[in-house]
Structure 1
Amino acid sequence: MRVTSDSPEQLTLLRDTVRKSRTKAPAEITETLPVARIAVDVSLPHLDRPFDYLVPDDLAAAAQPGARVKVRFAGKDLDGFVLERLAESDHDGKLVRIRKVVSAEQVLRPEVAELCRAVADRYAGVLADVTRLAVPPRHAKVEAEPLRYDQPAPPPLSTSRSEWAPYPPGFLDALARSESPRAIWTAVPGADWALAFAQAAAVCSAAGRGALLLAADARDLERLATACTTVLGESGFVVLSADLGPTARYRAFLAALRGTARVVIGTRAAAFAPVTELGLVALWDDGDESYAEPRAPYPNAREVLLLRAFKQNCAALLGGFARSAEAAAVIDSGFAGELIAARPAIRAAAPSVHITGESDTDLARDRMARAARLPHRAFEIAREGLKTGPVLVQVPRAGYLPSLVCQTCRAPSRCSACGGTLRRTGGAGPASCSICGRPAADHRCPECGDTRMRAAVVGARRTAEELGRAFPGVLVRTSGGDNMLDHVPDQPALIVSTPGAEPVAAAGYSAALLLDTWLMLTRPDLRAPEEAVRRWLNAAALVRPASAGGTVILVGDPSALPLQVVVRWSPEGFAAREVEERRAAHLAPAAKLAELTGPAESVADLVERLRALLPASAGLEVLGPVDVDDETVRAVVRTPRAAGTQLARALKDAQSARATKKNPGSVRVQVDPPSFG
């Protein structure tokens, strides 16, 4: 056909023909399971439910449960995961098509999707927020890498018993029989917990099942990786941690997903790892706050693993030198049993533990034994310990002089510009503000007018400086903050550390001085005594047994119960007592708590909605609100533990109602906060 300028009809006809030839007809809807139920990535509480979409025939093979897809939602293209394929939908309206399958990799397994839903419900959260924690961002290049199935043969069962010798054999025997035992393990002092975890994973692997092992931080994870390398070999496990970086993390995630590694170790980011044929979940030192996720809905890795053990019917192991109140409550509930060595084995492994001023002899030799920061007996123990090895000194606060007060009236010294606490960062120069950094060379106490200041709290650096003068010629090293030591050699040295930063000594510490115990006990937090006992036991467990000369001294009040717990090395009794006291006071874990933080009007509105949603039998109590700052308040709501599910559901429904009505103000809801003051 020849088109000329004087034939517009022919030109229009040709243009329409070209357009029709370029437009591709949409694919037909597949006949086999044509409906996909999809979890759309939307964090609005009133939209927290799956939505049904049609599956085009050309996407049917890739759009399998767990695959990532793109769908049209509220006028936008959003990400989502296929949860299941259905023959028909229960939706009465018209369904739209899946726009695209981003990846055919089934990254959200059905059992993990079910776990994510359970976690969202328990913490009054949204599924989309939990799946972001469970599934790392995609890297197409990593997905294209070839599969490698080099799973080594598990070691013989007879070689996997040594670290478990002090304990009853029932737990490992049940693992070997592919059963699902659940235990709260209190390790003997000095136990190599990482090696014990690796050996338990080896037993589970030998039975043909997978294991998931969690550590609190990067230092503990490195110890666990070293132990797993010894027991399982370098290719017998995979490390999954947020610190790996996006590419390495996704590669480790795919290794677990595809079954190239039967054992997965990691930090809290690995709690949702897709381990094939999961047989064991284990977590060390469950009281560590590092297990609390700082992003909504703020789940705790301990609770995620316990939920997972219940949902997937696998073994569970919570271990530690101390025992949290939550772990004791799990024992009380009957979900797990106690795994602990006999008292003779504990006494044989423990160091000799003392408190300054605990005897009349101490007071006769040093009248200030109960008041001095470093009593004479503590110096003697340090001097004696330095003859045979390193000595650990635990100081609760980092820095030099992190807090100053008036020399005369003891009023806190504060910055005249912003009201921040004044501190000293070194031995020279004026004090400065801990917030704005402004020097306070002309500071004068507003209460009494004195210009002199003294330390309210002495930090690790100042302590190291004082010990260096007291023990001339002895090497003094600090560990904490940005200067963390992992290991120290077996030679005389003073190691000054903040809690949680204690390095491991090659042959154990010859002695340990635990200073300023009052400071850890007076923290404005419900968990202060429990946290103090955990920190002290973790440090004392690094010391040699008493039979090898190991000695620990706590500088504090001998009548304080938490200090006596360390002397007797009885964390299980202390944890049981904590649970009883909290049950009497209606506090967690005996009660269900939720913290509501936001503008006063919004918090009040949410509380009123909760009152309307919950029946009187739920026993709802409201504490507060109290001011957080000029614009924010905090209220705490609580119910008995038995009504915890009702509280979580009501919180979710109340938030959904507020979102639907577009009420102003956002309220942060945190169920079972890690700290409560």
Structure 2
Amino acid sequence: MPEHPAHIAPQGPRPIARVLVDTPLPQLDRLFDYQIPREFADEAKPGVRVKVPLKSAGRVLQGYIVEVGEETDPERALAEIDTVVSDAVVLPDRLYRLARAVADRSAGSATDVLRLAIPRRMVRAEKAWLAHPEGPDIEPIPGATDDLGSYPGLTDALTAGERLALDAPPGVVGLVPEWARLLASIAASALDRGTSAIIAVPDHRDLDRLLSGLDGIVPAGAIVRVDADQTAQERYAAYLRTTGAGPCVVVGNRSAVYAPVADLGVLAIWDDGDSSFEEPLAPYAHARDVALVRQSLDGGALVFCGHSRSSDVERLVSIGFAVSVGPERRRSPRVVIAAPQDTPNTGRIPSAAFRSARQALELGPVLVQVARPGYAPSLVCAECRSPARCASCGGPLHAPARGATPVCSWCARAALGWQCSSCEATSVRLASSGSERTADELGRAFPGVRVIVADGAHPVQTIEDQPALVVATRGAEPLAPNGYRAVLLLDGERMLQAPDLRIGEACLRGWSNAAALAAPGAATHLVGVTGPVARALATWNQPAYARTELMERAPVKMPPVVRVARVEGDVPQLEKALVRLGADAPGLSPDAILGPVPLADVSGRKRARALVRFDYGRGTAVAESLRASVIEAAVKSRSRRPRGPAEAGRPRTPTNTLSVRLDVADPDL
């Protein structure tokens, strides 16, 4: 705890503040006591930003006051708060409790969580908020919750604050997906009860569609948008709005689950299986797990909504922790399993699907989903079929356009004069078709029909209700007014070959979202795929596939049946952490620890990685043990840090010797 040895402690109780210091050092992830100077007696209150001296760092750091109290020990010398940065309460107690709980579950630091939750301070936005912190008046819109009537018991479940796995209806009305209208009605029901709602979606496309669904159902003044596309001023202003006492509807991406609304009525996540909900920064907590922690702390209803169901949510349903809710009258797209046929007229498209697309083009647009963007994402030798690699760096070659010189995907060098390293042939063959090549092929197969490419390089949000072929990658499909007249799902067999534990779930989710964009009665053709995934799509019974996945993963103890932690670091620290884990978390199965596996040497240091599989009931003990090992490794690393000026070529601060990530979705990645 920061102290001034030369300070003469005054007599009697002294006002103190318990401060969370904003520092990346894991050993400092706790509250420090600081004396409140007389000049800050009125300003130093819980939740405000402050600057405080930290003896161990030898400088002044920013932090947040979490609590205020009194120090009754006259002999205890305390450092004083240096500055109160602002009067704005940016860390309400409810957010600190959430950050602390998420950090403890993930073996991380509360400050790391708060960096994800609290945007960078913008003075202009803060002054505007302090001048008018009450927010606009909100008048409910009549009939806003009518769509909830098609789901028996949904309104009562939302009011009771239950955890729900909600099957979203397929379809598009105008340019608004049915799922967006359903979530908008759920948010409106929360406002009717005088509470707030939070809706998190994977990306900006889904966010725009959700906002279109909120239009006319939720008052515009109640909507608070929180996402990375906003300017720093807009995002900080939106965050301050969520700290107020008035109800609102917060919409945004994965960080929206941290929005510190005062009275949370419902927290909804759309399509939780999307990889965008996986946080790439420490402590790597998935938005779904944050939502579960928050619901346990703040109450309110928790809704996981989607066309497909992740195995994580299905596990919650199977153990009775969540309730599955579906519509009274089930609606499902018409899915046709099409076998591939290689004929000159249809190419990669079977005859039946080809005829269906031709007939549908007489009525409106047709969607064609492909696996990858670009023209030819991969090339092989024309003679021996070996993958074509760059002669400079060894990266894979691809064709950016028809007849173009192959280009390396890693170093971007043109492969002029390429020669196969296996057979010395000099010609390449297209091994796969991307969105642009597919559009080229369809343009020749359907002369006179407009072809639209929609992928990461060619973003398209909406199209007109006119005949057109729309070639899109998964997740980039534009909306068509009232749906597509036919949907073709290509490259399914290639998609399922990806080395990913959850590839079946990912494909089913992408295909279900595309099929949901079809017009009522329009056919969706799944090409070249059979088996459980195809049956789940054809019968529109995605929960059954998720249950099958859980049953198959249980014997081999793979997530989400169990939790998995990845531990990486220097070999001595890693081995010590694993020994400590065995003592701190008794009862782990003999096969709980997989590894250690050696990793590439870093600056002459031998490093390794291990996986730890454990039941959910042992999560607290495992997280505490691994967190203690991380702190111990950080302290030792800091004690060995060279003193004085850094030498040339040698960093002053050494890299972390041990890192931990809990809840790894796929141990192979």
Q: Same fold (TM over 0.5)?
A: yes
Counterpart residue identity of residue 210, structure 2 = L
The answer to whether the 8 Å contact 2:145/2:188 transfers is no
Distance of 2:469 and 2:577 partners within structure 1: 54
Q: Does 1:234 align with 2:220?
A: yes
Question: Where does residue 167 of structure 1 map in the other structure?
Answer: 151
Distance of 2:181 and 2:124 partners within structure 1: 35
3-state DSSP of counterpart to 2:368? strand
2:478 alignment partner, one of 503, 522, 540: 503
Distance of 1:665 and 1:613 partners within structure 2: 26
The answer to whether the 8 Å contact 2:395/2:408 transfers is yes
Deviation string 1:110-164 (CA, Å, 9 cap, x unpaired) is 11100000110111111111111111111122121131532222234xx134433
1:179 alignment partner, one of 142, 156, 160: 160
The answer to whether the 8 Å contact 1:52/1:91 transfers is no
Deviation at residue 673 of structure 1 after TM alignment: 2.6
Question: Where does residue 295 of structure 1 map in the other structure?
Answer: 281
2:182 alignment partner, one of 178, 189, 196: 196
1:374 alignment partner, one of 325, 349, 356: 349
Distance of 2:347 and 2:579 partners within structure 1: 52
Q: Does 1:573 align with 2:540?
A: no
Deviation at residue 62 of structure 1 after TM alignment: 1.4
Deviation at residue 557 of structure 1 after TM alignment: 3.2
Question: Where does residue 308 of structure 1 map in the other structure?
Answer: 294
The answer to whether the 8 Å contact 2:564/2:667 transfers is no
Question: Where does residue 401 of structure 1 map in the other structure?
Answer: 376
Q: Does 1:266 align with 2:237?
A: no
Distance of 2:551 and 2:630 partners within structure 1: 33
1:485 alignment partner, one of 456, 460, 480: 460
Distance of 1:246 and 1:68 partners within structure 2: 18
Q: Does 1:594 align with 2:557?
A: no
Q: Does 1:555 align with 2:555?
A: no
Question: Where does residue 62 of structure 1 map in the other structure?
Answer: 43
Distance of 2:492 and 2:73 partners within structure 1: 62
Deviation at residue 268 of structure 1 after TM alignment: 1.2
1:410 alignment partner, one of 365, 382, 385: 385
* Residues 308-387 of structure 1: pairs in structure 2 closer than 5 A: 308-342=294-328, 345-346=329-330, 349-357=331-339, 373-387=348-362
Query: Unpaired segments of 5 or more residues in structure 2?
Result: 1-6, 172-176, 641-653
Assess, with a 3 A threshold, how the Cα gap between structure 1 residues 90 and 352 changes in structure 2: closer, same or farther: farther
The answer to whether the 8 Å contact 2:271/2:306 transfers is yes
Distance of 1:44 and 1:180 partners within structure 2: 38
3-state DSSP of counterpart to 1:242? coil
Distance of 2:420 and 2:366 partners within structure 1: 39
Deviation at residue 622 of structure 1 after TM alignment: 2.3
The answer to whether the 8 Å contact 2:37/2:80 transfers is yes
Question: Where does residue 645 of structure 2 map in the other structure?
Answer: none
Counterpart residue identity of residue 107, structure 1 = V
Q: Return 323-332 or 432-441, whichever deviates more.
A: 432-441
Q: Return 372-381 or 418-427, whichever deviates more.
A: 372-381
Structure (1 or 2) with the greater helix fraction = 1
Distance of 1:92 and 1:179 partners within structure 2: 52
RMSD after superposition: 2.5
Distance of 1:30 and 1:518 partners within structure 2: 77
3-state DSSP of counterpart to 1:669? strand
Deviation at residue 607 of structure 1 after TM alignment: 3.5
The answer to whether the 8 Å contact 2:166/2:325 transfers is yes
Distance of 1:206 and 1:219 partners within structure 2: 28
Distance of 1:228 and 1:331 partners within structure 2: 28
Q: Does 1:656 align with 2:631?
A: yes
Question: Where does residue 81 of structure 1 map in the other structure?
Answer: 64
Deviation at residue 659 of structure 1 after TM alignment: 1.3
Identical-residue share of aligned pairs (%): 39
The answer to whether the 8 Å contact 1:619/1:639 transfers is no
Distance of 1:430 and 1:367 partners within structure 2: 27
Larger Rg: 1
Deviation at residue 447 of structure 1 after TM alignment: 2.0
Distance of 1:326 and 1:29 partners within structure 2: 56
Distance of 1:432 and 1:367 partners within structure 2: 29
The answer to whether the 8 Å contact 1:238/1:265 transfers is yes
Counterpart residue identity of residue 588, structure 1 = P
Deviation at residue 430 of structure 1 after TM alignment: 1.6
Q: Return 427-436 or 439-448, whichever deviates more.
A: 439-448
Counterpart residue identity of residue 672, structure 1 = D
Counterpart residue identity of residue 660, structure 2 = V
Question: Where does residue 244 of structure 1 map in the other structure?
Answer: 230
Counterpart residue identity of residue 34, structure 1 = P
* Residues 8-23 of structure 1: pairs in structure 2 closer than 5 A: none
Deviation at residue 661 of structure 1 after TM alignment: 1.9
Question: Where does residue 593 of structure 2 map in the other structure?
Answer: 622
Q: Does 1:544 align with 2:519?
A: yes
Question: Where does residue 30 of structure 2 map in the other structure?
Answer: 49
Distance of 1:367 and 1:394 partners within structure 2: 18
Question: Where does residue 672 of structure 1 map in the other structure?
Answer: 663
Question: Where does residue 10 of structure 1 map in the other structure?
Answer: none
Question: Where does residue 4 of structure 2 map in the other structure?
Answer: none
Assess, with a 3 A threshold, how the Cα gap between structure 1 residues 384 and 89 changes in structure 2: closer, same or farther: farther
Deviation at residue 312 of structure 1 after TM alignment: 0.6
Deviation string 1:397-449 (CA, Å, 9 cap, x unpaired) is 11111111122322111111111001100113321211112222322222223
Question: Where does residue 144 of structure 1 map in the other structure?
Answer: 127
Distance of 1:405 and 1:94 partners within structure 2: 72
Q: Does 1:423 align with 2:398?
A: yes
The answer to whether the 8 Å contact 1:356/1:377 transfers is yes
Question: Where does residue 450 of structure 1 map in the other structure?
Answer: 425
Counterpart residue identity of residue 280, structure 1 = V
Assess, with a 3 A threshold, how the Cα gap between structure 1 residues 627 and 480 changes in structure 2: closer, same or farther: farther
The answer to whether the 8 Å contact 1:38/1:81 transfers is yes
TM-score (norm 2): 0.89
The answer to whether the 8 Å contact 2:369/2:474 transfers is yes
Question: Where does residue 8 of structure 1 map in the other structure?
Answer: none
Q: Does 1:439 align with 2:414?
A: yes
Distance of 2:613 and 2:475 partners within structure 1: 31
Deviation at residue 626 of structure 1 after TM alignment: 4.4
Deviation at residue 395 of structure 1 after TM alignment: 0.5
Deviation at residue 646 of structure 1 after TM alignment: 1.6
The answer to whether the 8 Å contact 2:13/2:71 transfers is no
Deviation at residue 329 of structure 1 after TM alignment: 1.3
TM-score (norm 1): 0.88
Deviation at residue 313 of structure 1 after TM alignment: 1.3
3-state DSSP of counterpart to 1:231? coil
Distance of 2:633 and 2:75 partners within structure 1: 26
The answer to whether the 8 Å contact 2:559/2:665 transfers is no
1:96 alignment partner, one of 79, 90, 113: 79
Deviation at residue 57 of structure 1 after TM alignment: 2.4
Deviation string 1:462-493 (CA, Å, 9 cap, x unpaired) is 00011011101000001111321111111110
